[in-house]
Structure 1
Amino acid sequence: MAQKILVVDDETVLLDTISYNLEQAGYQVIRASDGLIALEAARKNSPDLVILDIMLPGIDGLEVCRQLRRERTTATVPIIMLTAKADEIDKVVGLEVGADDYLTKPFGRRELLARIRALLRRADYPIARERDKKLAQEAAAFDDEQTVPKSKNLISGGLLIDQAGHRVNNRGQNIELQPKQFDLLTYLVRNRGTVLTRDQLLHNVWGYDYAGDTRTVDVHIRWLREKLEEDPASPKMIQTVRGVGYVFRG
């Protein structure tokens, strides 16, 4: 079955162009021309990915993104935001509200398809909701001395990362992460105790062809701390090494 992509833009020509290119690439396209229609379409169709323009009539793309992230059925769907502005602040705000990637108009067909494939590839993990109870029980039993088991789970203290199921459990509580947050946490835990620069994280988590900047890393680190740390303002798991980058202490 073709993967479904919701495309949201009020520019008819661009909406038609993106839709045509995606359909030619084998995707099923759902179209929306304003924010309210986009939210309704997302709830009804459960898309695999959303391409979302910032400037929309009704409610703008940033608010649409916020609302999608609050709803259970769309909380982790990959979102690519589009903007006609090249201002860095727009990009940072887009990431703040939950976007996974960002494209500035005009952009090429190949670049768009490459970003889509990368996000869908990272999000394409089997749904394993039936494992939630088991993960909670396992996490509660783990202690600080345990290491990676044969099941390929990553374990550090009370944190358990089920790589196959794309699930995270922290001290008995299941944590819902977006695909990029999951990738970043996994990379940090795999390299626990090693100080990693922002460039290293950007290259190894987002990919060497990613056109973003290191502020993207800082935004995602803050998200992880808010979800995992007892006190995000004084993190113990993901620590900042001033002037260098970040290190996972576990």
Structure 2
Amino acid sequence: MTDTRILLLEAKKQFPSSFMLDLQRKNYSVLLENSVSAASKTIKSFKPEIIVLNACSMHTSGTRMCLSLYKSYKRLNLSCKIILIVAKTPQYKQKQYVDLTLVQPFTSRKLLNAVKRLAPVPEKNWRSVGPLKFSYKQRRVKCWNKEKLLNPKEARLLQTLINRSGSTVSRKHLIKQIWETDYLGDTRTLDVHISWLRRAIEKDPLNPQILKTVRGKGYFLDISNDQTK
């Protein structure tokens, strides 16, 4: 078995659970529960690192169930990630206590890739840069005692800025590196990704102390040690 413990929550009629079989084939340690109340008790004893909630099998959006599970592991001071499986794309913004939403139908590989990204990162895979700890492979960043999962573009953006930390990186360079184009007619996409990245690494995204704007030039990743004080 791997060190990653997974709690799978889905309806009883899902037997045998294809998700459970897929996860076990990859040697994950998996327990299956069929209700939130049972899952909450299992959280205390099993201490899962990832919860996979198959809300689709229960004909529900899963929002309230995720919140209940989130409260259960927070009360125990545990760290856990939640993957929510739904039948259709939610009409609302993903809740902060849901780390990843998968919309059926999808292949087992997609679920396994999601689990791999959310699984605890081995210490050797973290890159420490000033107040940041970053794993490009698993697209995860730690800063200010919080850990965030980045989307692919955010991860490439942060990697590029880290590689040029201490120097101003032009908007043109970032657009060329991340989006592989020289077109500068519309830079709003870059602005949006910078905003998202600041939410992941800044204490106050509206008053950035790490990812700073250099007016008329680009962006500057300030990784001086005194930022953590």
Under a length normalisation based on structure 1, what TM-score does the superposition of the two structures give? 0.56
User: Which residue does the alignment assign to 1:249?
Assistant: 221
In structure 2, what is the Cα distance between the partners aligned to 1:20 and 1:84? 20
User: Which residue does the alignment assign to 1:134?
Assistant: none
In structure 1, what is the Cα distance between the partners aligned to 2:178 and 2:16? 35
User: Which residue does the alignment assign to 1:106?
Assistant: 105
Identity of aligned residues (%): 18
Given the alignment of the two structures, is residue 86 of structure 1 paired with residue 89 of structure 2, yes or no? yes
Given candidates 172, 196, 200, the residue that maps to 1:224 is 200
Structure 1: 5+ residue runs without aligned partners? 128-151, 202-213
Give yes or no for contact 2:199–2:205 (8 Å, CA) kept in 1: no
In structure 2, what is the Cα distance between the partners aligned to 1:81 and 1:97? 12
Give yes or no for contact 1:54–1:60 (8 Å, CA) kept in 2: no
User: Which residue does the alignment assign to 2:210?
Assistant: 237
Higher helix proportion: 1
Letter matched to residue 128 of structure 2: N
In structure 1, what is the Cα distance between the partners aligned to 2:34 and 2:220? 43
**SS state at 1:12 partner:** coil
In structure 1, what is the Cα distance between the partners aligned to 2:164 and 2:101? 27
Given the alignment of the two structures, is residue 176 of structure 1 paired with residue 146 of structure 2, yes or no? yes
In structure 1, what is the Cα distance between the partners aligned to 2:65 and 2:198? 22
Given candidates 63, 66, 76, the residue that maps to 1:62 is 66
User: Which residue does the alignment assign to 1:124?
Assistant: 121
Q: Which of structures 1 and 2 has the larger relative contact order (alpha carbons within 8 angstroms, sep 6+)?
A: 2
Alpha-carbon offset, residue 112 of structure 1: 1.7
Alpha-carbon offset, residue 8 of structure 1: 1.4
Structure 2: 5+ residue runs without aligned partners? 180-189, 223-229
In structure 1, what is the Cα distance between the partners aligned to 2:97 and 2:208? 21
The 1:82/1:126 distance shift into structure 2, 3 A limit, reads same
Give yes or no for contact 2:44–2:76 (8 Å, CA) kept in 1: no
Under a length normalisation based on structure 2, what TM-score does the superposition of the two structures give? 0.60
